């Protein structure tokens, strides 16, 4: 039901010319695909420091690392989204976000691209962009300048 | 406006908590003083002031329920302190009930819950007591008190004055000059001395001063002693003592008569007092009620400070390395200087670390006081007379741990009173004193704090316990017959074995020793039990002193650098693969005649092996907690280091075996092993009678 | 810049009063709030005035608010300084005494920040920043 309303709304919006509030998204790549996360949700972007593996931790937890004295749990976003894992290059980065509990979580991504701006009206629903089991992490689809961007809900990912 | 309320609101809860605790301590002291026949009016007044403050604050912060209770309680306490109501055991009981209600209400307010709290019964009781108040007057006019002084007495102070007059006390005015800079100490000094002679009713600044840095106060005092005695004890160059005379029966008209004696004292005594004042080192007696200079601190700020100390420790190490480097490059002088700075820094850092740790520590007395109230209540309920003996209340422990202790301790005491201590008659029959004794002992032992709960009751019924365990299916009769005495005792820690049938008021839920053990385990501690039939039971809790900075043994297992808190390590020995035997499917070695179960860390934790691990000699680190031991096989021992343990995030809450992580320098992180949890995990098979194994040694 | 002395033994009450004073728009150009946790501390702090307003609780141990007011009215420096009493509803007698001794106004607990601001600025409005020498 919501999908219908949203695409109708976006069509209407484009016709009228008012796209709604503009938000900024950080674009990054995972397994060759492009993803985006709302910029305001990201506390920091950093090169991965040495990560200590935590034995017997859940699969998507790579381990822990220290960011200026703060202990951060690092998740592998590819595992979280059940994507194929390619070897990491030196362009890999960690995005820091805060979970509902206040815990700071780091997300490991293949490469960070740039920031794009999308108006609310430009975000389409993504009923079947990814598999059903990760639908809760997907906020919608964006197409800045022709690129196809899957927008993720950072809050849901780090709190899940 | 929202911001200011949030901060003030937090402070409000903090202050309310303190006030309630102070009130509780006061009531306990009053209880004791009633029994011993003495009565200290200042205690009642303190209680009144506490409730009065709480009432005011509740109003400000919209804590309606707290305010309502405070209002009624304040009325009763006011009547009590002004002498309108007789003080007695039944009144005290109602006051204790009020403190319990306070605690419940405060929790509800904090959680913003709207739960209906049944306080009607309490309110009725309070009204009943208040109804008996009577007006009480007595002539103050008999004394020639300066009207200026009378005018500035508050209602309470007036009452104290009248009360003292009723007791036929003499009244004195002490005019004292104080140095503004030392007034606090000088005042404490005079208060202490004056207390031995009587009561100081009020302090009034006279408004005359000999210089800008001094202030003159008039102290109105009531005492049975005569002027000479007072002058001998309190007189000094800066003190002038006058007796306030009673008006002669046949007084002539208005106007005060000149005071009878005006004495300033001989040089000898004044010099002595002055020397004491100069020393300024008179100690106030330490009692739980004594006012100390305190600051309330948010424990998160302390954690932050600890983090900084931890990071400074890393910087300190960098200094050391730099010094080495300089020396290697031939810069001997510079290197030596840097090393000197490094040592200095190290020393100061250690001091700071100790200082912060000290701040986190609070005396166990905080919890013990609450427990004393509980004991009183329960002993009434079950009709057994209990004598509670507390030692070591001044033993300090990390604030975080203290908070979590009151529930487990309360359950243990409940059990002791319910099941341990026999009914009075029975005790007399077997030759024990009528009143049962429960001892709460706390003391420090190395890096741990030990808390013992001991009773002189009937001891744990081993046979009954075993029967219950069998009937609950925890073990078969055959298995039961093979248990050692200690193993039978340990049965009480199994779920269901010690749960009370009824949900009780005190804790609000069914209690069991399994819950107690789990909660203590969460604090990083263990619990042991000893019992002798007919003689008594003793439970011992062993707790780490602080959760923050610990001394740890750094080890290598596989590719991992790990830390084990030294408090859990009893020794480390070389590992001889050939000495390993298998007993009941478990690897063990023999250490000084005793069997030590082994655990290969790399296998247990699925650690990636380091490339050359096979060739090197390995080690066994013997982890010990309480009476249990486990040998951890590791690849390498680095040595001792002080580390700051940071807790793992909530997303890793289910991972067993780790107490947290610590920074290793170079931004690397090392995991910290939780010895208690590892021992549990590996030895679980040995303890639960279900998979019973023969125990050695 | 107006200087106010708060004499009150409860920490949260002091914080409350301070916040109320500092958050009033009239204090935007600057306000100096000094806290004393007891009558004794007030005695120490008073010579460091002059203060433009003193707000005091009545029921404090040892030197109570009435004694403090009496002292203030006898002192050279603060003979004319406005004094605001904070008292409880039930202590009518103490409040009356306070006014008789020379206090200029009172607030009964519980009171709102607005009530405090209103009373306080009744006395502060006449203050001229550079009027009296400080220290």
Which DSSP string corresponds to B360-413?
HEEETHHHHHHHHHHHHHHHHHHT--EEEEEE-TT-EEEHHHHHHHHHHHHHHH
pLDDT at A102: 67
Rounded to a whole number of angstroms, the distance from the CA of C31 to the nearest CA of chain B is 17
- Proportion of chain B above pLDDT 90, given as a percent: 8
Q: Provide, as residue numbers in chain A, all residues whose Cβ is less than 8 Å from the Cβ of B670.
A: 52
What integer best gives the mean pLDDT of chain B? 77
Band (pLDDT 50/70/90 cuts) for residue C92 is low
Q: Helix (H, G, I), strand (E, B), or coil: what is residue A1?
A: coil
DSSP state of B277: H
Q: How big is chain A by its Cα radius of gyration, in Å? A: 16
- The yes-or-no verdict on residue B41 having pLDDT over 80 is no
Using a CB-CB cut-off of 8 Å, the residues of chain A touching B560 are 52-53
Chain B partners within 8 Å of A54 (Cβ): 648, 652, 655, 658, 671
List the subunits that have 3+ CB pairs under 8 angstroms with A: B
**What confidence category does residue B346 fall into, taking pLDDT thresholds of 50, 70 and 90?**
confident
Which residues of B are less than 8 Å from A69 in CB distance?
307, 310-311, 663
Q: Indicate whether B233 and B307 sit together in one domain.
A: no
- Give the residue on B whose Cα is nearest the Cα of C111: B60
| CATH code, domain with A155 | 2.40.50.180
Domain presence at residue B285: no
Residue C133 falls inside a structural domain: no
CA atoms lying within 13 Å on the CB side of residue B351 = 6
Query: Which of the residue ranges A9-18, B208-217, B527-536 has the most confident prediction, judged by mean pLDDT?
Result: B527-536
Q: Confirm whether B284 is domain-assigned.
A: no
Look at residue A1 in the predicted model and tell me its pLDDT.
38
Residue of A nearest to B607 (CA): A55
> Bridge partners of B538?
B454, B530
**A58 vs B649: CB contact, 8 Å cut-off?**
no
Domain enclosing residue A74, as ranges:
2-159
Predicted confidence (pLDDT) at residue B109 exceeds the cutoff of 80: no
**Tokens describing residue B18:** 């303190």
pLDDT of residue B612: 64
What number is the average pLDDT over the span B65-82? 84
Under-50 pLDDT residues of chain A? 1-5, 9-17
> Taking residues C43-60, what's their average pLDDT?
89
Containing structural domain, residue C19: 3-124
Spell out which residues of chain C touch residue B51, defining contact as CB-CB under 8 Å.
none
> Residue A129: left (phi > 0), alpha (psi -120 to 50), or beta?
alpha
What is the pLDDT, as a whole number, of residue A106? 93
Give yes or no for a contact between B390 and B373, defined as CB atoms under 8 angstroms apart: no
Edge-to-edge order in the sheet of strand A70-76:
A42-46, A93-98, A104-109, A70-76, A61-67
pLDDT of residue C55: 96
Cβ of B336 under 8 Å from any chain A Cβ?
no
In a domain, B216, yes or no: yes
Cβ-Cβ pairs closer than 8 A, A with B, add up to: 74
Query: Rounded to a whole number, what is the distance in Å from the CA of B204 to chain C's nearest CA?
Result: 6
Q: Which chains touch B (3 or more CB pairs under 8 A)?
A: A, C
Interface residues on C facing B, Cβ-Cβ cutoff 8 A: 9-13, 15-16, 19-20, 23, 39-40, 43-44, 47, 58-59, 61-71, 74-75, 88, 90-91, 93-94, 97, 100-101, 109-111, 113
The C-alpha of B387 sits at a distance from chain A's nearest C-alpha, in angstroms, of: 45
Q: Do A66 and B650 touch (CB under 8 A)?
A: no
Q: In this predicted structure, what is the pLDDT of residue B37?
A: 66
pLDDT tops 60 at residue C110: yes
Q: Is the pLDDT of residue B138 over 60?
A: no
Instruction: Identify all chain B residues contacting C16, using CB atoms and an 8 Å cutoff.
Output: 8, 60
pLDDT band at B284 (very low <50, low <70, confident <90, very high): very low
Contact of B608 with chain A, judged by CB distance below 8 Å, is answered with yes
Are B525 and B618 members of one domain? Answer: no
B121 belongs to a structural domain = yes
CB–CB contact A52 B646 (8 Å): no
Q: How many domains does chain B have?
A: 5
- The structure tokens listed for B191 are 């208060």
List CB contacts (< 8 A) between B73 and chain C.
Answer: none
- What pLDDT sits at residue A107? 93
The b-or-e profile of B616-641 (16+ CB within 10 A means b, else e) is eebbbbbbbbeebbbbbbbbeeeeeb
> Among A97-106, A126-135, B192-201, B269-278, which stretch is predicted with the lowest mean pLDDT?
B269-278
* Cβ separation B655–A103 shorter than 8 A: no
Instruction: With a cut of 70, say whether residue C65 has pLDDT above it.
Output: yes
* Average pLDDT rounded to a whole number, residues B548-561: 83
Asked if residue B7 has pLDDT above 80, the reply is no
Which of B606, B646, B654 is closest, CB to CB, to A55?
B606
pLDDT of residue B144: 78
pLDDT tens for B616-632 read: 778 999 998 777 889 99
The pLDDT value recorded for residue B123 is 81
pLDDT band of B695, cuts 50, 70, 90:
very low
Same domain for B578 and B639, yes or no, is yes
* Chain A positions touching chain B (beta carbons under 8 Å): 49-58, 61, 64-66, 69, 71-73, 75, 99, 101, 103-105
Looking at residue A61, what is its pLDDT?
92
pLDDT band, very low/low/confident/very high, at C83 (cuts 50, 70, 90)? very high
**Per-residue pLDDT, B276:** 37
Residue C131 lies in a domain: no
At residue B649, φ and ψ (nearest 5 deg) are: -65, 165
Inter-chain contacts counted by CB atoms under 8 A, chains B and C: 112
Cis peptide before B585, with omega less than 30 degrees from 0? Answer: no
Across B468-486, average pLDDT: 83
Strand B668-673 with B560-565, pairing: parallel
Domain annotation covers residue C132: no
* CA–CA distance, B401 with B398 (Å, rounded to integer): 5
pLDDT beyond 80 at B14 = yes
Report the C-alpha gap between B433 and B446 in whole angstroms: 36
Beta-carbon separation of B152 and C101 below 8 A:
yes
> Using 50, 70 and 90 to split pLDDT, how confident is the model at B146?
confident
Is C17 inside a domain boundary?
Answer: yes
User: What is the rounded average pLDDT of the residues B381-402?
Assistant: 82
Residue B377 has pLDDT above 70, yes or no: yes
Of the given ranges (B22-31, B58-67, B136-145, B243-252), which has the lowest mean pLDDT? B243-252
Residue B468 lies in a domain: yes
Average pLDDT of the residues in B584-613: 84
Residues B230 and B151 in one domain: yes
ipTM of model over 0.90: no
Distance from CA of C33 to the nearest CA of B (A): 16
In the prediction, which pLDDT does A113 show? 84
Average pLDDT for B203-231: 83
Count the domains in chain C.
1
Cβ–Cβ gap C40/B57 under 8 Å: no
Backbone φ/ψ region at B14: left (φ over 0), alpha (ψ -120 to 50), beta: alpha
CATH of the domain at B213: 3.30.70
| Residues B562 and B466 grouped into a single domain | no
- The model's pLDDT over B556-588, given as tens digits with 9 standing for 90+, comes to 998 899 999 887 888 888 888 888 999 888 899
CA distance A89 to B693: 52
Q: Does residue B579 sit in the same domain as residue B497?
A: no
Q: Which residues contact B30 (CB under 8 A, 6 or more apart)?
A: B40, B43, B44, B47, B87, B92
Neighbours of chain C (3+ CB pairs under 8 A): B
CATH code for the domain in which residue C97 is found:
3.40.50.2300
Q: Report how many domains make up chain A.
A: 1
Determine the pLDDT at residue B597: 93
Question: For residue B78, which residues of chain C lie inside 8 Å, CB to CB?
Answer: 90
In DSSP terms, A38 is beta-bridged to A25
pTM passes above 0.90: no
User: How confident is the model at residue A32, as a pLDDT?
Assistant: 84
Do C66 and B7 count as a contact with CB atoms less than 8 A apart?
Answer: no
Find the CB nearest B154 among C40, C74, C94: C94
For residue A53, give the chain B residue with the closest CA: B560
Pairwise CB contact (< 8 Å): B57 & C10 = yes
| C in contact with A (at least 3 C-beta pairs within 8 A) | no
The whole domain housing B72 covers 2-131
Cβ contact, residue pair B202, C62, below 8 Å: yes
Measured between CA atoms, the residue of chain A closest to residue B653 is A57
C10: nearest CB among B53, B151, B202: B53
Which chain B residues contact residue C90 at CB under 8 A?
78
Which residue from B49, B57, B153 is facing C12, i.e. has the nearest CB?
B57
């Amino acid at each position: 039901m919501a999908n219908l309303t949203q695409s109708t709304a976006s069509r209407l919006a484009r016709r009228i010319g008012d796209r709604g509030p503009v938000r900024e998204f950080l674009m990054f790549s995972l397994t060759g695909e492009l993803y985006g996360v709302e910029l305001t949700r990201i506390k920091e972007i950093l090169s991965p420091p040495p990560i200590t593996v935590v034995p017997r931790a859940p699969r998507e937890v790579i381990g822990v690392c220290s960011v200026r004295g703060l202990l951060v749990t690092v998740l592998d976003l590819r595992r979280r989204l059940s994507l194929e894992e390619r070897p990491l290059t030196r362009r890999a980065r960690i995005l820091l976000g805060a979970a509902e509990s206040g815990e700071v979580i780091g997300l490991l991504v293949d490469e960070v691209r740039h920031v794009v701006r999308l108006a609310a009206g430009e975000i389409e629903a993504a009923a079947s962009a990814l598999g059903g089991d990760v639908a809760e992490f997907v906020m919608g689809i964006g197409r800045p300048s022709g690129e196809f961007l899957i927008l993720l809900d950072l809050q849901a990912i780090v709190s899940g | 406006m929202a911001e200011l309320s949030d901060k003030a609101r937090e402070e409000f809860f903090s202050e309310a908590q303190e006030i309630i605790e102070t009130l509780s301590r006061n009531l306990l002291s009053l209880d004791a003083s009633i029994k011993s026949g003495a009565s200290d009016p200042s205690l009642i007044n303190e209680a009144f002031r506490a409730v009065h403050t709480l009432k005011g604050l509740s109003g400000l912060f919209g804590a309606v329920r707290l305010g309502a209770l405070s209002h009624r309680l304040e009325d009763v306490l006011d009547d009590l302190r002004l002498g309108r109501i007789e003080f007695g055991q039944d009144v005290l009981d109602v006051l204790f009930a009020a403190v319990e209600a306070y605690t419940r209400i405060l929790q509800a307010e904090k959680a913003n819950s709207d739960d209906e709290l049944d306080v009607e019964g309490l309110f009725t009781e309070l009204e009943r007591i208040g109804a008996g108040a009577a007006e009480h007057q007595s002539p103050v006019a008999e004394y020639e008190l300066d009207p200026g002084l009378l005018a500035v007495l508050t209602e309470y102070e007036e009452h104290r004055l009248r009360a003292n007059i009723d007791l036929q006390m003499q009244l004195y005015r002490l005019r004292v000059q104080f140095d503004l800079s030392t007034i606090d100490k000088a005042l404490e000094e005079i208060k202490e001395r004056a207390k031995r002679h009587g009561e100081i009713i009020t302090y009034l600044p006279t408004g005359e001063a000999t210089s800008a840095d001094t202030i003159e106060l008039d102290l109105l005092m009531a005492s049975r002693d005569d002027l000479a005695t007072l002058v001998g004890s309190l007189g000094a160059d800066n003190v002038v003592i006058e007796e306030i005379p009673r008006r002669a029966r046949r007084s002539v008209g208005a106007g005060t008569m000149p005071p009878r004696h005006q004495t300033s004292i001989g040089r000898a005594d004044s010099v002595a007092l002055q020397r004491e004042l100069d020393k300024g080192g008179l100690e106030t007696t330490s009692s739980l009620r004594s006012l100390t200079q305190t600051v309330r601190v948010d424990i998160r700020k302390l954690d932050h400070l600890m983090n900084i100390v931890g990071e400074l420790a890393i910087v300190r190490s960098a200094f050391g390395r730099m010094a080495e480097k300089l020396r290697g490059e031939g810069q001997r002088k510079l290197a030596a200087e840097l090393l000197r700075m490094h040592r200095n820094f190290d020393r100061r850092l250690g001091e700071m670390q100790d200082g912060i740790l000290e701040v986190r520590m609070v005396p166990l007395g905080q919890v013990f006081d609450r427990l004393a109230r509980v004991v009183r209540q329960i002993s009434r309920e079950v009709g057994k007379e209990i004598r509670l003996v507390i030692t070591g209340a001044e033993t300090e422990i990390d604030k975080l741990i203290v908070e979590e202790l009151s529930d487990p301790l309360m359950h243990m005491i409940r059990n002791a009173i319910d099941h341990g201590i026999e009914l009075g008659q029975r005790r007399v029959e077997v030759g024990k004193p009528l009143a049962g004794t429960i001892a709460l002992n706390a003391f420090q032992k190395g890096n741990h704090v030990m808390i013992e709960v001991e009773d002189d009751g009937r001891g744990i019924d081993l046979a009954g316990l075993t029967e219950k365990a069998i009937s609950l299916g925890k073990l078969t009769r055959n298995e039961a017959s093979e248990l050692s005495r200690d193993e039978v005792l340990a049965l009480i820690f199994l779920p269901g074995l010690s749960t009370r049938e009824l949900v009780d008021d005190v804790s609000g839920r069914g209690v069991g020793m399994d819950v107690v053990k789990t909660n203590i385990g969460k604090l990083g501690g263990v619990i042991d039990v000893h019992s002798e039939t007919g003689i008594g039971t003793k439970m011992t809790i062993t707790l780490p002193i602080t959760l923050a900075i610990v001394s740890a043994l750094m080890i290598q297992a596989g590719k991992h650098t790990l830390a084990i808190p030294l408090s859990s390590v009893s020794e480390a020995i070389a590992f001889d693969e050939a000495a390993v035997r298998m007993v009941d499917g478990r690897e063990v070695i023999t250490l000084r005649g005793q069997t030590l179960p082994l655990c290969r860390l790399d296998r247990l934790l699925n650690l990636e092996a380091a490339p050359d691990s096979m060739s090197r000699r390995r080690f066994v680190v013997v982890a010990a907690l309480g009476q249990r031991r486990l040998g951890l096989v590791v690849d390498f021992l680095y040595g001792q280091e002080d580390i700051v343990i940071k807790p793992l995030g909530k997303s890793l809450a289910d991972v067993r075996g780790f107490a947290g992580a610590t920074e290793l320098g170079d931004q690397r992180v090392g995991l910290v092993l939780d010895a208690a949890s590892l021992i549990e995990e590996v030895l679980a098979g040995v303890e639960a009678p279900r998979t019973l194994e023969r125990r050695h040694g | 810049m107006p200087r106010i002395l708060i004499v009150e033994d409860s920490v949260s009450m002091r914080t409350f009063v301070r916040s109320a004073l500092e958050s009033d728009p009239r204090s935007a150009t600057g306000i100096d709030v000094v806290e004393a946790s007891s009558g004794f501390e007030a005695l120490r702090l008073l010579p460091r005035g002059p203060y433009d307003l003193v707000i005091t609780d009545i029921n404090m141990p040892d030197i109570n608010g009435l004694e403090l007011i009496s002292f203030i009215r006898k002192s050279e420096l603060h003979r004319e300084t406005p004094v605001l009493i904070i008292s409880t509803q039930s202590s009518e007698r103490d409040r009356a005494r306070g006014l008789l001794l020379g206090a200029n106004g009172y607030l009964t607990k519980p009171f709102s920040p607005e009530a405090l601001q209103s009373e306080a600025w009744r006395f502060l409005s006449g203050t001229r920043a550079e009027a009296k020498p400080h220290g």
